[in-house]
Each structure stands twice: as C-alpha cells, then as structure tokens.
Chain A
Amino acid sequence: MKSLKDIRKVWYFPTAVAIIYIITFIMDSTKAVDSLQSTLNVFIKIIPTLLLVFALMALTNYFIAPKKLANWLNKKHGWLVAIVAGIISTGPIYMWYPMLQDLQKHGVKNGIIATFLYNRAIKPALLPLIIVYFGLAFTVVLTIVMAILSVVQGWLVEKIIA
C-alpha cells in the first residue's frame, strides 16, 4: 500500500504548476485564462488515449501474467516489439507512463522501455504532414534512422542505469 508520503509526493508537481498559474493570474489574468483554455483543449484531446491505455492495461492484466509478459519482452525480439509498439501507440507520451511503470515493476528492461518511448516520435498518421513540409526522401530516411538508433539509445540507457 502506498504511504501518505508517496501520495503527497505525486502532488508536488501539479501543486507547483498551480502556484505558477496563480502568479501568472496575478501578473496577467488574460494569459492565465488563455492558458487554462489551452489546457482544457489538451485534456479533451487526451481522453481517447487515456481510455485506450486503460483498456490495454486491463486486457493485459486479464490475459497475460505480468511476469510472463516481462520475460517475453526481455528476450531479443523485445526490441522489435518495442519499436513496433512505440510506432503504433497513439496520444501524448505521458499517457503511457502508468502502463510502462507497471511493466518496469514487473521487470521489463529499462532499455526496452526507452526504445518504446523513442519510437513514439514516429507516427504513421503524421508522416504525410512531414512529407508535405520536408519531402518524401527526408521522411523515409529520418524514420529508418530513428527506428535503428532507438535500439542503440535504449541499449545505452540500459547500460547507464546498470
């Protein structure tokens, strides 16, 4: 069970941000209100991802023993799974923290988690937009380079932490 200290700790960050909002409101109330409006827009956007992550976590808990999943991900093909999962996952990066925390607690390598997070940068739905701005050749090369280097980055993170 979580201690009262742990529960308090998770509120430090949002409390600090709330204080910044109060200061902003005192200095320029319009900007504080605009920021809150922008925040509300982001909240509306992340609701589908939150539901997706919740569903994935529930399904994983129901069908797979966490320890088995961790063992499976820690094998060589885990890197490839991390790349593919990172690419197809949707929504903001922080929405995936609860699921990754769960996997980390059950022993999934930090390198695999880092590789997953790095590949969150490659989004198939956004590729047409990158092509429009930077061209097809740039988009193809960047995507391949990122996918390959994500494994190197994950491996290095693993080594640093170990």
Chain B
Amino acid sequence: MKNNNLNEAILKAGKGIWNAVPMIIGIVLLVGLTDVLIPKSLYTKVFTNSVFDPLIGSAFGSILAGSPITSYILGGEFLAQGVSLVAVTAFIVAWVTVGIVTLPAEIVMLGKKFAIARNVMSFIFAIIVAIITIGVLNLL
C-alpha cells in the first residue's frame, strides 16, 4: 500500500540522511586518524598469554575501528604469534560489534541509554561468544 507520495518519501529520507551527515563526517575522520596514529606494531604487544587475553582481545577490538577484513588479518597474525584462539575470537567479534569510535554518534542518533547498554553488552558478549565458539569447536 502506498503511504505517501514519492516526493514526500524521498524528501523525508533525504532529511534523515542529512541529519546524520555531521556524525558520519566525525566518525570517518576519527577512523582515518586511528588508522594512521595507532602503529600496527603495537597490536601484538597487548596480549599477555594469560586468562585475561579474551578480555584484552575484546577491549582491544572495541577501541580499534575499520574494515572487518583488517580484524581477520590481524587475528591471523595474533594466532601465528601464539595468542589463544579464544582471545583472537573475542577480538574479531568486538571489532565489529562494539564501537568506541562510533559511540558519540550512536548516542546522538539512538540515545545515550541505548548506545551505552548495547556497547557494554556487546563487549561482554564478545567474550561469551568466543568462549562458546571455542568450547563447541573442542567438542567437535
């Protein structure tokens, strides 16, 4: 069923996107900055080969931003350097589900309570997902 006329529908969609433009500009600028300012050599130094590694992996994945492809490549490197698969899984899951860089935009667009609750839960769930995934893999 047609709800509005086409011009109105396009105008409304355009308005919605336009309202998000300042936030999108901010996020993309910040993604560019973190990509250049955080040296890739630092990445492997954060893991300690302890039980805290999944927590560190989730925290590290939450801070960094960029294409998921980068997280897989980094995850592969971490594995090659002896980091546990649970920690690497927590890292790649948090990379895509938690967004510290995008948090200010999420707060403005979707609300403070929602953004904080969702990101905190996603951070915790990155560790849970990692533990369950590796647990199931060990059973197979």
B residues near A100, Cβ cutoff 8 Å: 109-110
Q: Interface of chain B, helix or strand or loop or mixed?
A: helix
> Residues of A at under 8 Å CB distance from B?
2, 9-14, 16-18, 20-21, 24, 31, 34-43, 46, 50, 53-55, 57-59, 61-65, 92-95, 97-102, 104, 110, 113-114, 117-118, 120-121, 123, 126, 129-130, 133-134, 137-138, 141-142, 145-146, 149, 152-153, 156-157, 160-161
Nearest CB on B from A156, distance (A)? 6
Contact of B3 among A62, A92, A114, A157 (CB under 8 A): A62
**Cross-chain contact A156 with B33 (CB below 8 angstroms):** no
Q: Does B140 contact A (CB under 8 A)?
A: yes
A residues near B96, Cβ cutoff 8 Å: 93, 120-121
- In B107-140, the 8 Å CB interface with A consists of 108-111, 113-114, 117-118, 121-122, 125, 128-129, 132-133, 136-137, 140
The size of the chain B interface, using a CB distance under 8 A, is: 66
> Residues of B at under 8 Å CB distance from A?
1-6, 8-10, 12-14, 16-17, 19-20, 22-33, 35-37, 68-69, 72-73, 75-76, 79, 85, 89, 93, 96-97, 99, 102, 104-106, 108-111, 113-114, 117-118, 121-122, 125, 128-129, 132-133, 136-137, 140
A95 to B28, CA, bound (A): 11
Contact of B20 among A12, A17, A97 (CB under 8 A): A97
Which residue in chain B gives the minimum CB-CB distance to A53?
Answer: B17
